[in-house]
């Protein structure tokens, strides 16, 4: 039986190996993709188009620029903010706060994995 204690859950997430972190970086699919692939969620990848569902950037749509497995966050191409010195920085987002609107079609292996079942 797995522990339900928050401390142990945080520890498990922080010490997870990369193959488990890849699953942790999943986001839910839009209604069209959900009906097409008969799946509710999929791991986010670079090149996917996502819609922000939570936070001050709600309803913004952008392409995934980077997936950071170390922090379990993603960054979008057109989403950033200015620092005091004027430089532009990317805003890290949790994948649970975004929805995949369009999948990157670069990888046929991923498409087969989504169509499988």
Domains belonging to the chain, first-starting first, are: 6-115 (2.30.30.30)
pTM: 0.88
pLDDT in tens, 60-104: 999 999 999 999 999 999 999 999 999 999 999 999 999 999 998
Sign of the torsion angle spanned by Cα atoms 22, 15, 90, 41: positive
DSSP, collapsed to helix, strand or coil, labels residue 53 as coil
Predicted local confidence at residue 107, as pLDDT = 81
pLDDT in tens, 39-66: 999 999 999 999 999 999 999 999 999 9
């Amino acid at each position: 039986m797995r522990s339900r204690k928050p401390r142990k859950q945080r520890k498990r997430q922080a010490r997870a190996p990369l193959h488990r972190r890849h699953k942790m970086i999943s986001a839910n699919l839009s209604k069209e993709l959900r009906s097409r692939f008969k799946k509710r969620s999929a791991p986010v990848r670079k090149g996917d188009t996502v819609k922000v569902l939570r936070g001050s950037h709600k309803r913004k749509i952008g392409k995934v620029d980077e997936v950071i497995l170390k922090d379990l966050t993603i960054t979008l191409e057109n989403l950033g903010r200015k620092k005091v010195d004027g430089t532009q920085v990317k805003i890290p987002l949790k994948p649970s706060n975004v929805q995949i609107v369009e999948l990157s079609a670069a990888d046929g292996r991923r498409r087969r994995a989504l169509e499988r079942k």
